[in-house]
A = this chain, B = another copy of it.
Amino acid sequence: MFARISTSFAEFPGIFGESDPKGGAPIRVNLNEFSYKKGAEIFGEKEPADYVYQVATGAVRSYKLLSDGRRQIGAFHLVGDIFGLEIGTEHRFTAEAIIDTTVRLLKRRSLELVAESDAKVARNLLSMTTSNLRHAEDHMLLLGRKTSLERVAAFLIEMDHRSTAAGILALPMCRRDIADYLGLTLETVSRALSRLHDLGILNFIGNNQRQIVLRDRDKLASYDLQH
């Protein structure tokens, strides 16, 4: 299911912070890279959380399933994002590669060891957990109280903020993934996107339904009520 790419000692940006400008040696730990084919599972819910992951290339979805197959995607992880960070012993989500993906991985144990002596690393762990919490809290509001159009608008705005090419979105995920992230069906997502297109708010690039140009962000934002 995965291929081992390389083993190296390298930085794992985001946890250890920026390299020390005062000349201290940057922290280096044993880092592996692994590649996963589109659709491959990176780890499963309830599995022991021995590693922390960072997306090097590709994209990842984290989700929970109900016993009858209903799925809720809790987050998408794009290049640079760290995921699979658990404080308890087991993963609370299943993580899958949305497209062919390479991740860097780091033994949780070594991270904990560093955190014990380095208050800065410990604070970074807390701040990453907090930002996950903030995202989940905002997403509860979306899932509990927003209409389908508002959800899709909020999704596009979120993706726009996270994308490097401003105004142009190259979505790695299919409509079903978006739907399971927004608590909708894929048909409803499709209809909302068509509606936003008809309203002149977005265009599709060529015939690729996953490449989107945001033509009117202000109008788009007006469908994403802020709290």
What count of chain A residues pass the 8 Å CB interface test? 41
A72 within 8 A of B: yes
Which residues of chain B come closer than 8 Å to A143, judged between CB atoms?
Answer: 140, 143-144, 183
| Cα-based distance from A66 to B122 in the complex (angstroms) | 34
A217 within 8 A of B: no
Interface pair B126/A67, CB less than 8 Å apart: no
Interface pair B144/A133, CB less than 8 Å apart: no
Interface pair A145/B72, CB less than 8 Å apart: yes
A8 within 8 A of B: no
Which residues of chain B come closer than 8 Å to A65, judged between CB atoms?
Answer: 227
List the B residue with the shortest CB-CB distance to A150.
B66
A88 within 8 A of B: yes
| Cα-based distance from A88 to B136 in the complex (angstroms) | 15
- A222 CB to nearest chain B CB (Å): 11
Q: What is A's interface to B at a CB cutoff of 8 Å? A: 45, 64-68, 70-72, 74, 87-88, 92-93, 116, 119, 122, 125-127, 129-130, 132-134, 136-141, 143-146, 180, 182-183, 225-227
Q: A66-B227, A93-B137 are in contact. List 19 more A-B contacts (CB 8 A).
A: A64-B138, A64-B141, A65-B227, A66-B145, A67-B225, A67-B227, A70-B146, A71-B145, A87-B127, A87-B130, A88-B130, A88-B134, A116-B119, A125-B126, A129-B133, A132-B133, A136-B140, A143-B144, A144-B183
